[in-house]
């Protein structure tokens, strides 16, 4: 073998060999235990970045471990290939989006291969292929049939830079998720929506089953779904026979209601204006409040604005009439667009009423308290620690009890109703762009909205289109596409020219991997039955809400139409940390990007992988260091030299049975052999346990380094024959097995050099030997009153009595005992002694 470690040569050799041997190709084998490792599919933006690398090698380490544990491992990859950047690039460079996309895929595909990630490449998909996106259209039609896809005119979030609509989930701080400095504007448009709200409760309830998902992801989703339980209450108003419905979660405070606030967009507002004594003046106020309304705000603490409408509403509980005010903080999109104002017990109402001189009436006080002379802030106790006052029949009840009683009474009397509100809104999926899945709908003057029949799918994207980035949907300018015939009456009709949000594409792609060829259905149910659920999904936290909630929604719909028989597709989720450099996320704008290609060229893929995993636990952000990576490189060079030194001698040494079954007779081991093998099996124990659950690969690699250091210390003993060749071989083989999870190419190269003909992935993961891992002598710290005062060495089996005696005899300890009375001696077996003195 080459005495020098040449990563480039080794890595290309093994990548070729693995491909030839079809090492990572998996087939469904009913009856055989399976493991599905999935990483979030990348957008082919041009080049792989370090965040991708981190994502994929975490999955790769796991996949390789699972293969060696004997699982049938599905580890696929694909491309989230539709989307805006392709279109923008097309405009800029006069290249067709498909061309730009496929050349990026080609580049990134090669980069992944260069990293040696263990993918089954036969299963690769790209969502822009008609064979794929026709099924997006199919899902859309199914949802349409079920009433889950619908069209409505609505105010939408519009990004002027993207020239398209954004889903609520894609608006970040009032700005576009792709253009963080561009405020979203509002537009009224006819749009297609998917009724995710129909599954709001299921999405929330089913989270209970997601016990292996990170708590913060669940918390974020729960937040986003935003369930709150409360009641509607009807307030009569003095403007015709209209009534005004409000939503509250604190019906118990209704006797403290001193006003009603409504959103300026509320449908009642025009009627109030019409009936107002000074309609012009009120209309001006409405416009003013609208302009300062919450949706337009970018700063968080918007000043409260309001105006009295001059009308009043009647509180059905006490018959009291209170003024109706327009308020800029009331959201039309949530609840009913109207709220009762209880300034004493809601901070926003408190601020508003103070600012506008509206009365404040306390109706809840602490259990043993009284109404304060003056409130400084709203008192918001809602549980058992409060007590109602000024609330006629309900006085003395706790808020908790009052809520139940008052809701029931309101229902009985017909002016109220228990209800549940969700914050999540339906998913707007129409995009006024070209590079996406055409929405399979047709508009006919006679028949209205008509779905494209399933047999006519896919509705293909026309290849010829002029892209300018301006105006409406590009597809509208392609007459051959737009003009069609109505599937129902055969008359002339127009096609829908919007395309789908690309998050539709990524909501079910991981099903397609199980059979990416099937042409008769979106998924192969037998294959899905074998491979699902995804055992481990790995990706960035930034998808916590968007993708990870859409994908859950899709699965629930798939269950409903009988495609799958489960409701959650992913058993375990892992969210990795970001890759940071110089304190900021790597980005082209900041110029702190580290290119995987450069790292591979300079150090090789194995070093890139090893360093990325060694730098810290994978869930934490990783601060990239150009110097620390040298350490990873040095380590691999050292291991290479270490093994190379013995490789020649190894080849001839009897390998005996498989690594996992090979037993060395403990009793016959020499001291240095014992020491070396102890370290081997301790390391193996640590790595095995860690791979099963904790995934702190940094500590695994540290342990492997320690093992290598231990072997280096014993090298002289090995050279002099005090460690027999079969023991050296066992040590090095175990080291390589473990290393292969993190640096697979060099591990296979060295494995071959030590006389093996099959890649490591074909070996069984060895079990650690408890007997060999055990220490036979222990150093036990001795404390006096909890402070370390000495150390004793005892045999592992030493009796408590002996440990106690030895501890007290220790000279360092003796000094501190100093003749004082020993109150207690705590002996923790194998661990420590603590002598308590007075």
Partner RNA sequence: GCGGACGUGGCGAAAUGGUAGACGCAAGGGACUUAAAAUCCCUUGGGGGAAACCCUGUGCGGGUUCGAGUCCCGCCGUCCGCACCA
Q: For residues 231 and 487, what is the distance between their CA atoms, to the nearest angstrom?
A: 46
Q: Which of 791, 794, 808, 817 binds RNA (CB under 7 A)?
A: 791
User: Nearest distance from residue 114's CB to RNA, in Å?
Assistant: 24
Told to check if 135 binds RNA by CB under 7 A, we report no
Using DSSP bridges, classify how beta strands 492-495 and 441-444 pair: parallel, antiparallel or unpaired: antiparallel
Q: For residues 288 and 307, what is the distance between their CA atoms, to the nearest angstrom?
A: 9
Choice between 323 and 458, CB closer to RNA: 323
Count of chain residues binding RNA (CB under 7 A) = 87
Using DSSP bridges, classify how beta strands 185-194 and 149-159 pair: parallel, antiparallel or unpaired: antiparallel
Choice between 248 and 730, CB closer to RNA: 248
User: Nearest distance from residue 619's CB to RNA, in Å?
Assistant: 8
Q: Which of 190, 456, 630, 775 binds RNA (CB under 7 A)?
A: 630
Q: How is 667-718 classified by DSSP, letter by letter?
A: GG--HHHHHHHHHHHHHHHHHHHIIIII--HHHHHHHHHHHHHHHHHTHHHH
CB 306 within 8 A of CB 286: no
Tally of helices (H runs) and strands (E runs) in the chain: 27, 34
CB-based burial label for 702 (10 Å; 0-12, 13-18, 19+): middle
Question: Terminus-to-terminus CA distance in the chain, angstroms?
Answer: 67
Q: Which residues within the stretch 404-433 sit at the binding site for RNA (CB under 7 A)? A: 421, 423
| Omega within 30 of 0 (cis) for the link into 730 | no
Told to check if 785 binds RNA by CB under 7 A, we report yes
User: Nearest distance from residue 247's CB to RNA, in Å?
Assistant: 5
User: Nearest distance from residue 753's CB to RNA, in Å?
Assistant: 19
Tokens 């998808």 sit on residue: 543
Alpha carbon of residue 414 to chain centroid: 44
User: Nearest distance from residue 250's CB to RNA, in Å?
Assistant: 5
Q: Which of 180, 215, 374, 821 binds RNA (CB under 7 A)?
A: 215
Q: Which residues within the stretch 265-304 sit at the binding site for RNA (CB under 7 A)? A: 294, 297, 300-304
Q: Which residues within the stretch 680-709 sit at the binding site for RNA (CB under 7 A)? A: 696, 698-699, 701-702, 705-706, 709
| Binding segment (CB under 7 A) for RNA, from list 271-279, 611-619, 654-662, 729-737 | 611-619
Choice between 249 and 477, CB closer to RNA: 249
Mark out the alpha helices in 357-429 (DSSP H runs).
Answer: 399-413
Tokens 């504007």 sit on residue: 185
Q: Is 443 left (phi over 0), alpha (psi -120 to 50) or beta?
A: beta
Choice between 109 and 345, CB closer to RNA: 345
Choice between 590 and 831, CB closer to RNA: 831
Told to check if 559 binds RNA by CB under 7 A, we report no
Q: Which residues within the stretch 525-544 sit at the binding site for RNA (CB under 7 A)? A: 541, 544
Q: For residues 687 and 615, what is the distance between their CA atoms, to the nearest angstrom?
A: 17
Q: What is the 3-state secondary structure (H, E, C) of 481-507?
A: HHEEECCCCCCEEEECCCEECHHHHCC
User: Nearest distance from residue 228's CB to RNA, in Å?
Assistant: 4
Told to check if 28 binds RNA by CB under 7 A, we report no
Q: What are phi and psi of 534, to 5 degrees?
A: -60, 125
Q: Which of 614, 640, 695, 711 binds RNA (CB under 7 A)?
A: 614
| Binding segment (CB under 7 A) for RNA, from list 246-254, 511-519, 719-727, 768-776 | 246-254
* Residue 280 structure tokens: 């012009």
User: Nearest distance from residue 13's CB to RNA, in Å?
Assistant: 23
User: Nearest distance from residue 430's CB to RNA, in Å?
Assistant: 21
Q: Which of 321, 625, 660, 666 binds RNA (CB under 7 A)?
A: 625
Q: Which of 247, 503, 508, 531 binds RNA (CB under 7 A)?
A: 247
| Binding segment (CB under 7 A) for RNA, from list 105-113, 158-166, 272-280, 329-337 | 329-337
Q: Which of 161, 189, 198, 220 binds RNA (CB under 7 A)?
A: 220
- How many angstroms separate the Cα of 389 from the Cα of each of 287, 465, 668, 755? 39, 70, 85, 86
Told to check if 350 binds RNA by CB under 7 A, we report no
User: Nearest distance from residue 121's CB to RNA, in Å?
Assistant: 32
Q: What letter does residue 207 receive in the DSSP assignment?
A: G
Choice between 167 and 659, CB closer to RNA: 167
Told to check if 361 binds RNA by CB under 7 A, we report no
Choice between 291 and 561, CB closer to RNA: 291
User: Nearest distance from residue 248's CB to RNA, in Å?
Assistant: 4
Choice between 441 and 615, CB closer to RNA: 615
Q: For residues 335 and 421, what is the distance between their CA atoms, to the nearest angstrom?
A: 7
Q: Which residues within the stretch 801-830 sit at the binding site for RNA (CB under 7 A)? A: 812, 815, 824, 826, 828
Q: Which residues within the stretch 144-173 sit at the binding site for RNA (CB under 7 A)? A: 172-173
User: Nearest distance from residue 460's CB to RNA, in Å?
Assistant: 35
User: Nearest distance from residue 672's CB to RNA, in Å?
Assistant: 16
| Binding segment (CB under 7 A) for RNA, from list 189-197, 282-290, 327-335, 556-564 | 327-335
Q: Please name which of 405, 410, 368 lies closest in space to residue 389, comparing C-alpha atoms.
A: 368
| Binding segment (CB under 7 A) for RNA, from list 344-352, 367-375, 556-564, 723-731 | 344-352
Choice between 627 and 668, CB closer to RNA: 627
User: Nearest distance from residue 630's CB to RNA, in Å?
Assistant: 5
* Residue 44 structure tokens: 């082919």
Told to check if 376 binds RNA by CB under 7 A, we report no
Choice between 113 and 808, CB closer to RNA: 808
Contacts of 521 (CB under 8 A, 6+ apart): 563
Work out the number of other CB atoms within 10 angstroms of the CB of residue 770.
9
- Can you give the C-alpha Rg of the chain in angstroms? 34
Alpha carbon of residue 274 to chain centroid: 50
* Residue 116 structure tokens: 């040696």
CB 86 within 8 A of CB 66: no
Q: Please name which of 557, 639, 632 lies closest in space to residue 599, comparing C-alpha atoms.
A: 632
């Amino acid at each position: 073998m080459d005495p020098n470690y040449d990563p480039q040569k080794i890595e290309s050799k093994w990548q070729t060999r693995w491909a030839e041997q079809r090492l990572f190709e998996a087939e469904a084998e009913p009856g055989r235990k399976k493991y599905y490792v999935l990483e979030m599919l990348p957008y082919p933006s041009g080049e792989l970045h370090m965040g991708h690398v981190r994502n994929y090698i975490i999955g790769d380490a796991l996949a390789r471990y699972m293969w060696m544990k004997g699982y049938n491992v599905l580890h696929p990859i694909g491309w989230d290939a539709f989307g805006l950047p392709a279109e923008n690039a097309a405009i800029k460079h006069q290249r067709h989006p498909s061309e730009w996309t496929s050349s990026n895929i080609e580049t990134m595909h090669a980069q992944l291969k260069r990293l040696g990630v263990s993918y089954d490449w036969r299963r690769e998909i790209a969502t822009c292929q008609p064979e794929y996106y026709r099924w997006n259209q199919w899902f859309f039609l199914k949802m349409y049939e079920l009433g889950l896809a619908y069209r409505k005119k609505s105010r939408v979030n519009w990004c002027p830079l993207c020239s398209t609509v954004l889903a609520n989930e894609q608006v970040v701080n009032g700005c576009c998720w792709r253009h963080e400095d561009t405020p979203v504007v509002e537009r009224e448009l006819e749009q297609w929506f998917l009724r995710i709200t129909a599954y709001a409760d299921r999405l929330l309830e089913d989270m209970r089953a997601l016990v292996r998902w990170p708590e913060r992801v669940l918390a974020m989703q729960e937040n986003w779904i935003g369930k709150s339980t409360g009641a509607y209450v009807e307030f009569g108003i003095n403007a015709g026979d209209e009534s005004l419905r409000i939503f509250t979660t604190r019906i118990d405070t209704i006797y403290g209601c001193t006003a009603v606030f409504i959103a300026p967009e509320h449908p009642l507002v025009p009627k109030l204006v019409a009936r107002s004594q000074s309609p012009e003046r009120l209309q001006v106020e409405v416009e003013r409040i609208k302009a300062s309304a919450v949706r337009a705000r970018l700063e968080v603490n918007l000043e409260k604005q309001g105006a009295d409408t001059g009308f009043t509403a009647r509180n059905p509980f006490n018959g009291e009439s209170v003024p109706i005010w327009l308020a800029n903080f009331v959201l039309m999109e949530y609840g009913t667009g109207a709220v009762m104002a209880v300034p004493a017990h809601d901070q926003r109402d408190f601020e508003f009423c103070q600012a506008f001189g509206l009365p404040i009436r306390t109706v809840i006080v602490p259990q043993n308290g009284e109404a304060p002379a003056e409130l400084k802030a709203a008192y918001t106790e809602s549980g058992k620690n409060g007590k109602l006052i000024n609330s006629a029949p309900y006085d003395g009840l706790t808020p908790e009890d009052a809520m139940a009683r008052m809701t029931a009474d309101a229902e009985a009397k017909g002016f109220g109703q228990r209800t549940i509100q969700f914050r999540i809104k339906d998913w707007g999926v129409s995009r006024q762009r070209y590079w996406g899945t055409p929405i399979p709908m047709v508009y006919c003057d006679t028949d209205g909205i008509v779905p494209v029949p399933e047999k006519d799918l896919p509705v293909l994207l026309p290849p010829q289109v002029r892209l300018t980035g301006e105006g409406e949907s590009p597809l509208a300018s392609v007459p051959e596409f737009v003009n069609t015939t109505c599937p129902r009456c055969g008359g002339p009709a127009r096609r829908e020219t919007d395309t789908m949000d690309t998050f539709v594409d990524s909501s079910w792609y991981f099903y397609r991997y199980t059979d990416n060829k099937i042409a008769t259905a979106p998924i192969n149910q037998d294959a899905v039955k074998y491979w699902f659920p995804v055992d481990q999904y790995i990706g960035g936290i930034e998808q916590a809400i968007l993708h990870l909630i859409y994908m859950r929604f899709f699965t629930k719909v798939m269950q409903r139409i009988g495609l799958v028989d489960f409701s959650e597709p992913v058993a375990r989720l892992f969210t990795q940390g970001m890759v940071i450099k110089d304190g900021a996320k790597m980005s082209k704008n900041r110029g702190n990007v580290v290119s995987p290609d450069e790292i591979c060229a300079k150090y090789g893929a194995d070093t890139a992988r090893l360093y990325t995993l060694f730098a810290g636990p994978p869930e934490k952000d990783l601060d990239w260091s150009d110097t620390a990576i040298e350490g990873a490189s040095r380590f691999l060079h050292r291991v290479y030299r270490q093994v190379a030194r013995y490789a020649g001698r190894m080849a001839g040494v009897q390998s005996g049975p498989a690594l996992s079954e090979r037993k060395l007779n403990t009793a016959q081991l020499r001291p240095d052999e014992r020491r070396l093998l102890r370290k081997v099996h301790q390391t193996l124990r640590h790595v095995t346990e860690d791979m099963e659950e904790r995934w702190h690969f940094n500590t695994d690699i540290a342990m492997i380094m320690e093992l290598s250091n231990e072997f280096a210390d014993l090298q002289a003993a090995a050279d002099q024959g005090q460690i027999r060749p079969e023991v050296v071989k066992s040590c090095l083989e175990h080291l390589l097995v473990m290393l292969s999870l993190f640096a697979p190419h060099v591990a296979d190269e060295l494995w071959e050099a030590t006389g093996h003909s099959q890649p490591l992935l074909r070996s069984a993961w060895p079990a650690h030997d408890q007997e060999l891992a055990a220490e036979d002598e222990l150093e036990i710290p001795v404390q006096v009153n909890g402070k370390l005062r000495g150390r004793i060495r005892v045999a592992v089996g030493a009796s408590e009595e002996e440990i106690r005696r030895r501890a007290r005899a220790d000279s360092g300890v003796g000094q501190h005992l100093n003749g004082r009375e020993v109150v207690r001696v705590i002996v923790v077996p194998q661990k420590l002694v603590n002598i308590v003195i007075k």
